[in-house]
Amino acid sequence: MSTFNIKPYPRVAVYPTGWAGERTFDEIYADLTPNLNRLLRYYGNVDHELPDLVAHAFMRLWMELIADKTFLATADKGGALSLLLNRTNPQIFRKVYRHEVYLDDLATRSGDPDEFIIDGFDHGHSRGYAEFAEAIDLRLDIERAIGETAEKYIDSLPHLAALYYITTEVGPDDAAAIAGKSGTKKCWWLTSVVKPLRHELCEMLELFAPHKPTWQDRYRAGVEAPLLRLIDRYEADGNVRMVATLQSMAAYESCKQLMQRLQLPKSHVQYLRLMGHRELNRIYRCAA
């Protein structure tokens, strides 16, 4: 994948229109709202309902544009207004969202007005709208978090590539190539850039994954017996290196300190520590 095909992250999204070229969503809203208000009044909608109808129509239009940036590319102003009118749903808004009661419904469903009104509210007609609004709020929060993060790291290609990797279905190899990190540098990028950036996004969105306890958590909490039994087992087998590795891990020593004590290359020490983690997670019954 060539990095020359990667376009800079747009600070403000633009959408092609058939009446004014590329426009931001705010500009599309400003272009169409006055005429949309006039059309809604022409079709008999009262003034106090117009803000909700307009908001509902533009929210649905925004969802269409997110799914397909070219949705308005061939639409003139009149065509765009027709698309908006089709997305206002004034009858549903008045009858369902506002729980308005009609006499013919009252006559067919119940002879008791109080019973009908209680029954109408009991059916939770607004549940679908509430779920829709909640989903839109979450989507807006996600877009805001992505936009703010992109703005923060606008001058760091590794971070922008990490954001691209986290928020799309691109594979780690292609994303690392965009970041200019291949081979062993890819591992560094995943742990030092991607992982912290993912955590940063989760904090912004208040999405906190449940923490899975590790053997270190249990050891720090005072559960020392499993580790001591494992050390005894390796001592009985005469495996001095694994004994030293486990003792070093229990003391929270670095890989470099263990290399100096055992006089072994880094790759060998890393292997010993990996085997130690696996054994400790197993005997502490924790996820690896």
Same domain, 38 and 113: yes
Same domain, 229 and 170: no
Would you place residue 207 in the very low, low, confident or very high pLDDT band (cuts 50, 70, 90)? low
C-alpha atoms less than 13 angstroms from C-alpha of 195 in its C-beta half-sphere? 7
Structural domain harbouring 118: 3-127
The stretches of 9-71 forming alpha helices (DSSP H) are 25-42, 50-67
Same domain, 268 and 170: no
pTM tops 0.85: no
Distance, CA of 39 to CA of 33 (rounded, Å): 10
Average pLDDT of the chain to the nearest whole number: 78
Would you place residue 181 in the very low, low, confident or very high pLDDT band (cuts 50, 70, 90)? confident
Q: Output the pLDDT for position 121.
A: 42
Q: Identify whether 135 is part of a domain.
A: no
Indicate the range of 49-63, 96-110, 227-241 predicted with least confidence.
Answer: 96-110
Residue count of the chain, please give it: 288
| Angle ∠(248,253,255) on CA atoms, nearest 5 | 90
Query: Which of 85, 112, 127 delimits the end of a domain?
Result: 127
Of 47 and 176, more confident: 176
Matching residue, tokens 């059916």? 123
Of 159 and 93, more confident: 159
Nearest Cα neighbor of 225 from 285, 287, 271 is 285
Q: Identify whether 179 is part of a domain.
A: yes
Q: Identify whether 11 is part of a domain.
A: yes
- Name the helix (H) or strand (E) containing 279: helix 266-283
Q: Identify whether 145 is part of a domain.
A: no
Q: Mark 257-284 as b/e (b = at least 16 C-beta within 10 Å).
A: ebeeebebeeeebeebbeebbebbbeeb
Q: Output the pLDDT for position 83.
A: 87
Answer whether residue 212 shows pLDDT above 50.
Answer: yes
Nearest Cα neighbor of 160 from 174, 179, 184 is 179
Answer whether residue 286 shows pLDDT above 90.
Answer: no
Same domain, 274 and 235: yes
Give, in order, the Cα–Cα distances in Å from 235 to each of 89, 240, 241, 250, 280. Answer: 76, 7, 10, 16, 16
Distance, CA of 42 to CA of 270 (rounded, Å): 75
- What are 66-123's pLDDT values in tens digits? 888 899 999 998 889 888 888 876 655 554 444 444 444 444 544 444 444 444 444 4
Matching residue, tokens 């022409």? 42
Same domain, 62 and 101: yes
Q: Output the pLDDT for position 211.
A: 58
Indicate the range of 20-34, 130-144, 173-187, 273-287 predicted with least confidence.
Answer: 130-144
Q: Look up residue 235 and give its amino acid.
A: E
Q: Output the pLDDT for position 135.
A: 60
Q: Output the pLDDT for position 228.
A: 92
Average pLDDT of span 135-160:
81
Same domain, 121 and 39: yes
